[in-house]
Amino acid sequence: MLTYLGRRLFWLVVTLLVITAITFVIYFVLPPVSPAVLFAGKEATPAVIATVQAELGLNHPVWVQYLLFLKHLVLGDQFGWPGLGFSFVNHSPVRTLIAGRIVVTASLAIGAAIIWLALGVTIGVISAVRQRSIWDRLSLGFAIFFVSAPVFWLGLVLLYVFWFKLGIAAGTGNFPPGQYGFWTWLNHMILPWLTLALLYAGWYARMTRGAVLDTLTQDYVRTARAKGLRESRILLRHVLRACITPILTMFGLDLAALVSGTVIVEVVFNLNGLGQWVVQSVESDDIPSVLAVTVLAALAVMVANLIVDILYAYVDPRIRYD
């Protein structure tokens, strides 16, 4: 296992280097507008541009800038660790700008994940166990509808009906529990969680249904029934255990992708998360911020993959790593 871990960590670092290098080239080498010119503003004389380039560290060759970026990432910069640089647009350290946003995105992603897992797996199991019944049909309808419904539409509809018209839901905005209390925060997160969760719940319901149906026909399940075990025990201890591997795979990837994939929900519900941040940064040519979020997103996906792979060994005894 340790050898396997070491190998995976090595390739994690290599992949991260490749991703950061490509992103660096895209944003520092290719753009038609120099960040220094943008920063210099209305009277970008050569003297002002030169001053700004020196201030922002843009007066070094590109490869030196990239190496400095890596060095700061690993060792930190004058603003702390990790060193994510200085926002050209907001004139603040990127680290402080995204710290709060990571928490918002994480809370949105984790909350939605719990809901979609609970909802999706439950519906999938019921649908498989009650195959071809009215529950199965409803489950299919549920999955098709929410997989097809655009996320922004769903969010706006939920807001319109439950907040604007019925007044029973809280509106938009980010209300940190430390400042506004746990219940106020929870209130404001329900609709965003549902919006995000319902899309994934549909997928997971269908995936779980297929996996459970497949497992139910296995010999060991028949044996368990023959031995007189209760159906619920068979389902929970034997069937679900076998089905969990594909669900785990998808779950890890989906959760990691949400690092920057929640942008639509964050915009609709005004949640000031990472997804919304990266879109604003791209629009305003805030290169250090885009680079920072790219690094974080890539790291999240790779770490999630690694965790999922390690969990396989515990979930499925047949899997061993050398």
Partner 1 sequence: MMTHDEPGPARAARRGLALRLLTAASCVLVTALAACSGGGGSSGGSPAAGASGSGAHPARGGVYRTAVSSFGLTNNMDPVGETQIGFAFSVYDAMLRELVNFRHVNGAAGTEIVPDLATSVPAPTDNGLTYTFHLKPDIKFAPPVNRAITSKDILYAFQRINDAKLVAQYGYYYYGVIQGMTGKATSPDNAISGIQTPNPTTIVFHLTKPTGDFLQRVASPAAAPVPAEVAKCFNTPGSYGRDLVASGPYMFQGSAQADISSCTALKPISGFDPTSHITLVRNPAYVQSTDNTRANYLNGVQITVDPNVADIFARVQKGQLDGSMTDPPPATVTRTYLTDPSLAADFHSDLINQVESVTMNLAVAPFTDVHVRKAVAWVLDKSAMLRALGGASHYSIATHIIPPTLPGGLAVSYDPYKTPGASGSLAKAQAEMKLSAFDPRRDGKCDVAACKKLVFIDISQFSGVDTVVQNDLAKIGITIVPRDLSVTTAFTALFTIKELEPMSALGGGYADYTGTFSFAQPNFGSAALSAPVSCCNYSLVGLTQAQAASYKVPYPKTGIPSVDSIINQCEVLSDGPQRSACWSGLDKTMMTKVMAWVPYVWGRNIVVTAPDVTRYVMDVATSSISLTQLAVSNHVSIPS
User: Which residues of the chain form contacts with partner 1 (CB under 8 A)?
Assistant: 32-33, 37-49, 51-52, 55, 86, 90-92, 96-97, 100-101, 145, 149, 157-165, 167-175, 179-181, 183-184, 186-187, 190-191, 194, 198, 267-270, 272, 276-277, 280, 283-285
The two tokens of residue 308 are: 């999922």
Q: Measured from the CB atom, is 6 or 181 closer to partner 1?
A: 181
Nearest alpha-carbon partner for 295 in 13, 90, 7, 9: 13
What is the spatial distance between Cα 291 and Cα 38, in angstroms, rounded to a whole number?
Answer: 18
Residues linked to residue 77 through DSSP beta bridges, in sequence order? 80
Q: Measured from the CB atom, is 252 or 275 closer to partner 1?
A: 275
The minimum distance between CB 109 and partner 1, in angstroms, equals 19
Q: What is the DSSP letter of 93?
A: B
Which region, left, alpha or beta, applies to residue 43 given φ > 0 means left and ψ of -120 to 50 means alpha? beta
* DSSP state string for 47-89: HHHHHHHHHHTTTS-HHHHHHHHHHHHHH-BTTBSS---B-TT
The minimum distance between CB 139 and partner 1, in angstroms, equals 13
The minimum distance between CB 36 and partner 1, in angstroms, equals 10
The minimum distance between CB 270 and partner 1, in angstroms, equals 4
Q: Measured from the CB atom, is 4 or 163 closer to partner 1?
A: 163
The minimum distance between CB 289 and partner 1, in angstroms, equals 10
Q: Measured from the CB atom, is 65 or 280 closer to partner 1?
A: 280
Q: Measured from the CB atom, is 285 or 309 closer to partner 1?
A: 285
User: Buried (b) or exposed (e) across 252-286, using 16+ Cβ within 10 A?
Assistant: bebbbebbbbbbbbbbbbebebbbbbbbbbeeebb
